[in-house]
Amino acid sequence: MRLDDVAVIQTLEETPIAVGQSVTLTNVGDGLDGAQTVLAVPPYLFIGVTDQGDWEFNYDIPVPNQLLFRDSGSDVERDDLNPYGTLTWTATCSWIT
Protein backbone atom coordinates (compact mmCIF):
# COMPACT_ATOMS: atom_id res chain seq x y z
CA MET A 1 0.00 0.00 0.00
CA ARG A 2 1.13 3.54 -0.60
CA LEU A 3 -0.57 6.62 0.85
CA ASP A 4 0.75 10.18 0.84
CA ASP A 5 4.15 9.01 -0.53
CA VAL A 6 4.62 6.52 2.32
CA ALA A 7 4.55 2.80 1.52
CA VAL A 8 3.93 -0.15 3.82
CA ILE A 9 4.45 -3.79 2.94
CA GLN A 10 3.67 -6.84 5.04
CA THR A 11 5.82 -9.98 5.04
CA LEU A 12 4.37 -13.45 5.50
CA GLU A 13 6.66 -14.15 8.43
CA GLU A 14 8.42 -12.13 11.12
CA THR A 15 11.85 -10.85 10.03
CA PRO A 16 14.83 -9.39 11.88
CA ILE A 17 14.69 -6.31 9.62
CA ALA A 18 15.07 -3.11 11.64
CA VAL A 19 14.73 0.62 11.11
CA GLY A 20 17.55 1.95 8.92
CA GLN A 21 18.13 -1.29 7.03
CA SER A 22 17.93 -1.42 3.26
CA VAL A 23 15.62 -3.94 1.58
CA THR A 24 15.07 -4.72 -2.09
CA LEU A 25 11.60 -5.47 -3.43
CA THR A 26 11.00 -7.35 -6.70
CA ASN A 27 7.80 -8.36 -8.49
CA VAL A 28 5.69 -6.12 -6.25
CA GLY A 29 4.61 -3.70 -8.98
CA ASP A 30 2.85 -0.35 -8.62
CA GLY A 31 6.25 1.37 -8.65
CA LEU A 32 7.29 -0.23 -5.33
CA ASP A 33 10.09 -2.41 -6.74
CA GLY A 34 13.67 -1.47 -5.94
CA ALA A 35 15.86 -0.62 -2.96
CA GLN A 36 14.12 0.98 0.03
CA THR A 37 15.28 2.11 3.48
CA VAL A 38 13.03 0.97 6.33
CA LEU A 39 11.80 3.96 8.38
CA ALA A 40 9.52 2.08 10.78
CA VAL A 41 8.24 -1.38 11.67
CA PRO A 42 4.69 -0.43 12.67
CA PRO A 43 2.43 -2.95 14.44
CA TYR A 44 -0.82 -1.24 13.37
CA LEU A 45 -2.63 -0.38 10.13
CA PHE A 46 -1.13 2.70 8.44
CA ILE A 47 -3.90 5.15 7.44
CA GLY A 48 -1.99 8.16 6.11
CA VAL A 49 0.02 11.26 6.90
CA THR A 50 -1.25 14.34 8.77
CA ASP A 51 -0.92 17.87 7.40
CA GLN A 52 2.06 18.23 9.75
CA GLY A 53 3.77 15.17 8.21
CA ASP A 54 3.15 12.72 11.06
CA TRP A 55 2.26 9.12 10.23
CA GLU A 56 -1.19 8.00 11.35
CA PHE A 57 -2.22 4.49 12.37
CA ASN A 58 -5.47 2.77 13.30
CA TYR A 59 -4.59 1.38 16.73
CA ASP A 60 -7.68 -0.85 16.66
CA ILE A 61 -6.30 -2.91 13.76
CA PRO A 62 -3.03 -4.73 14.49
CA VAL A 63 -1.09 -5.79 11.38
CA PRO A 64 2.04 -7.86 12.08
CA ASN A 65 5.26 -8.00 10.04
CA GLN A 66 5.05 -4.59 8.36
CA LEU A 67 7.84 -2.43 6.97
CA LEU A 68 7.27 1.29 6.28
CA PHE A 69 9.36 3.38 3.89
CA ARG A 70 9.11 6.59 1.85
CA ASP A 71 8.09 6.01 -1.76
CA SER A 72 6.73 8.73 -4.03
CA GLY A 73 3.90 7.86 -6.35
CA SER A 74 0.17 7.50 -6.71
CA ASP A 75 -1.75 6.04 -3.79
CA VAL A 76 -2.05 2.23 -3.95
CA GLU A 77 -4.63 0.34 -1.89
CA ARG A 78 -3.62 -2.48 0.42
CA ASP A 79 -3.84 -5.80 -1.43
CA ASP A 80 -2.25 -9.24 -1.53
CA LEU A 81 0.30 -10.20 -4.18
CA ASN A 82 -0.47 -13.20 -6.33
CA PRO A 83 2.02 -14.50 -7.21
CA TYR A 84 4.11 -13.27 -4.29
CA GLY A 85 6.75 -10.59 -4.62
CA THR A 86 10.22 -10.95 -3.15
CA LEU A 87 11.93 -9.00 -0.38
CA THR A 88 15.67 -9.43 0.14
CA TRP A 89 18.05 -7.87 2.63
CA THR A 90 21.53 -8.33 4.01
CA ALA A 91 21.87 -9.22 7.66
CA THR A 92 23.76 -6.63 9.69
CA CYS A 93 26.44 -8.04 11.98
CA SER A 94 28.35 -6.22 14.68
CA TRP A 95 31.10 -7.27 17.03
CA ILE A 96 32.07 -5.99 20.43
CA THR A 97 35.82 -5.94 20.94
Q: How far is the CA of 1 from the CAs of 9, 13, 43, 94, in angstroms?
A: 7, 18, 15, 33
Q: For residue 71, is it within any domain? A: yes
Residues 58, 50: Cα–Cα separation, whole Å: 13
Q: How confident is the model at residue 95 (pLDDT cuts 50, 70, 90)?
A: confident
* This prediction's pTM: 0.87
31 within 8 A of 25, measured Cβ to Cβ: no
Mean pLDDT within 20-42: 93
What is the spatial distance between Cα 18 and Cα 35, in angstroms, rounded to a whole number? 15
Q: Is 95 a member of any domain?
A: no
Average model confidence (pLDDT) across the chain: 92
Q: 45: domain range?
A: 2-89
CB 55 within 8 A of CB 70: no
Q: What is the pLDDT of residue 41?
A: 97
Number of domains within the chain: 1
User: What pLDDT digit, counting tens, does each position of 48-93 carry?
Assistant: 999 999 999 999 999 999 999 999 999 999 888 777 888 899 877 7
